[in-house]
Structure 1
Amino acid sequence: MDCVICRRCQPGDSGIAADFIRANEPGKQGFLSIDVSHPTGPRIDIPGLRAAFGERLVVNVPLGRYTAARVGGPADAFLHACSSSELANFVCQLWKLEQPFLILGGGSNVLVSDSGVRGVVVLNRSKGGIRFNLGAEPPTVWAESGVNLASLARRAAARGLSGLEWAAGIPGTLGGAIVGNAGAHGGSIAAQLVLAEILHRGEGMGIGEPAREMWAVDRMEYEYRGSALKGRRGGSLADDKAGTLQSHSCQPWVVVLGAQLKLERSTPEAVQAQMEEFATYRRRTQPSGASIGSMFKNPPADYAGRLIEAAGLKGTRLGGAEISALHANFFINNGKASASDVFNLIRVARERVAEKYGVCLEMEIELVGDWQVKQDISSPPIR
């Protein structure tokens, strides 16, 4: 997940609808029901932001071009960070101004609503500062958080360094991978991380002065597709294990500025051969084109894709969104999808699996923005 940071919100000002999805509610005839609250949303001080950021600030920027699924409405305001120092400067100024914001990296594992984001979106393109230390034992690499993870894996392979082969097909950034404990093919960021440079604004529920610290991997409290950093997130809809989609209460936020990863010595030929093997597997089993990535976490001792397929939903379409006929845990944009199309297809998949197997699929992606969802789906899914 690449959406990394937001200010600490006050009750009622998050601008995020509290959407409650409950499977099998009586009287809904096969669709998940949603009870939606309507917060007023935060106030954005555009003049104050312009005074702070000048021409760097752009208003009303469509976010679809920056997300892997190619959907999403506009951000009220938009900043483009080109380095970790610039990213830290933007974040500190936004904290000082008490303006709501989030960070967007590669745009994978995130679904931005059609109404967009009420606040400032900071695009993290801090791609400099990549430093390999071949003399260390084990060898390491330091990179800024905006570095593309797949690109970093290829650079390591060219130097005969193993450990990131699994990441060669992941489109997100290093920062997003660290927050969400990205992984594939049996590997994960948790297994490679040594330490991360963290910018934070106090611990617990209090707000203090911004501080930069080095956090060792143990402090991340990694779990399957989660971490202590992800637990601090707010301002986006997230899953609970009872089958409800609702907004987190906002807490002090942290942002990843950079990280050191440990690697293993090998040869370029061996590492690249393993990467090609993984790539061949992905081409055979996963769809190409505009996709958010894996939609749901795998439940214990099972696979989300298998459950969705067994529920008869492979190839199901709603509007311009489709559950891939190749891998049922991938939802694709056929070129005309809206974020609402994707979201409503998520509802259908969750409900069907819950009805047939009693399993509530927990989302792996993050929902961002205002989700003012109608009580019923206007157009039924088709095959």
Structure 2
Amino acid sequence: MHSLFGERLRQDVPLANYTAARVGGKGDFMLIAQSAEELETSVRHLWNLEIPFVILGSGANVLISDRGVRGVVILNRAQRFDIHAEQDPPTVWAESGANLGLIARTLAHHGLSGLEWAATIPGTVGGAIYGNAGAHGQDMAGTLILAEILHREYGKENWLCERLEYGYRTSYLKKHPGEAVILSGLLRLSKSTRENVQAQMEAFVAYRKRTQPPGASMGSVFKNPPGDYAGRLIEQAGLKGTRIGGVEVSPIHANFFIAYEGATSSDYWRLICLVRQKVLETFGIHLELEIERIGDWDDESAISLS
């Protein structure tokens, strides 16, 4: 691989530095993709060499094993985006590593509406497309026009939103991991005023500060079950403030688990399993993970996912 990637290829990289929860082991190798073109080239090479890889953006919504990640971690830093305010409707095109919140704040400056809900989301465009990120009753399914996809079998294609088969916090790509990689996305906007967009964003930011805890976390751990909220169920099960090792169920919002100094991914996983088991015993509801686990997990942990 060194002959292909040269100095771009790093070895034994601590991955906790690249995740929102600040936990996880080392990656065998890491490549940083600074553009969609670099991302595409890297992925094609790794597919051709049959070398396993994972793509890491902002590191939100992922739990990396303490044992680390075998193969290659591609750190997606393809962050370019272009605003097309003159179009009808206006749009923004963004590479998959671009920060969604930064784009939303930039659009507000231009008086363009459509991404106010994303102002407080810490993830990337690619992660949002992949997992159908959303907030305040809106999501990527209602915003995305098309995604530029690199498919392992068919090469580079433009997928219209409908082809992604969006559901609540899921998509075709999430259900078929390893089949394709997101290179960029085109998002639909509407014209407004800077004052109106900014006011809506500020309201969302204020709501987040009131209802969500500060500190290192992955974001929402579980999906909301139909007709209910995971946080409410966890709270009603008496689990707010429950702690294992360095990880605690937030006393502010029970669907957020906060990592403190010394926390490990194992702490996270043990707490996740405890919370899910308690909610199942109390309410008969099996909470489905919103976060994804990455890396080298043992057989016992894999079995407990079911």
Q: 2:283 aligns with which of 352, 357, 374?
A: 357
Matches of 1:338 and 1:131, distance apart in 2? 39
Match of 2:304 in 1: none
Match of 1:114 in 2: 66
Q: Does 1:162 align with 2:162?
A: no
TM-score by length of 2: 0.97
Match of 1:223 in 2: 167
Match of 1:303 in 2: 229
Match of 2:17 in 1: 65
Match of 1:85 in 2: 37
Match of 1:187 in 2: 138
Q: Does 1:100 align with 2:52?
A: yes
Matches of 1:79 and 1:133, distance apart in 2? 31
- Deviation at 1:226? 0.5
- Deviation at 1:374? 6.2
Q: Does 1:151 align with 2:77?
A: no
Which runs of 4 or more aligned residues in structure 1 lie more than 4 Å from their structure 2 counterparts after TM superposition?
A: none
Counterpart of 1:193, as a letter, is L
Of 363-372 and 100-109, the range deviating more from structure 2: 363-372
- Deviation at 1:372? 2.1
Matches of 1:319 and 1:341, distance apart in 2? 6
State the Cα RMSD in Å: 1.1
SS in 2 for 1:291: coil
Match of 1:319 in 2: 245
Matches of 1:67 and 1:286, distance apart in 2? 18
- Looking at secondary structure, tell me which structure has more helix per residue: 2
> What are the superposed Cα offsets for residues 188-235 of structure 1, whole Å, 9 maximum, x if unpaired?
011010011100112xxxxxxx611111111111000001111111xx
Counterpart of 2:166, as a letter, is Y
In the alignment, structure 2 segments of 5+ residues that lack a partner are 302-306
Match of 1:265 in 2: 191
Match of 1:175 in 2: 126
Match of 2:82 in 1: 131
Match of 2:5 in 1: 53
- Deviation at 1:253? 1.7
SS in 2 for 1:332: strand
SS in 1 for 2:184: strand
- Deviation at 1:336? 1.9
> What are the superposed Cα offsets for residues 130-178 of structure 1, whole Å, 9 maximum, x if unpaired?
1111121111011100000100100111110111111111111000000
Which one has more relative contact order, counting CA pairs under 8 Å at least 6 apart? 1
Aligned residues: 301
- Deviation at 1:304? 0.2
TM-score by length of 1: 0.77
In the alignment, structure 1 segments of 5+ residues that lack a partner are 1-48, 203-209, 234-251, 376-383
- Deviation at 1:373? 6.7
SS in 1 for 2:232: helix
Match of 1:289 in 2: 215
Matches of 2:105 and 2:226, distance apart in 1? 32
Counterpart of 1:308, as a letter, is I
Match of 2:298 in 1: 372
Matches of 1:373 and 1:314, distance apart in 2? 29
Identity, % of aligned positions: 58
Matches of 2:262 and 2:216, distance apart in 1? 11
Q: 2:176 aligns with which of 228, 232, 237?
A: 232
Matches of 1:306 and 1:148, distance apart in 2? 30
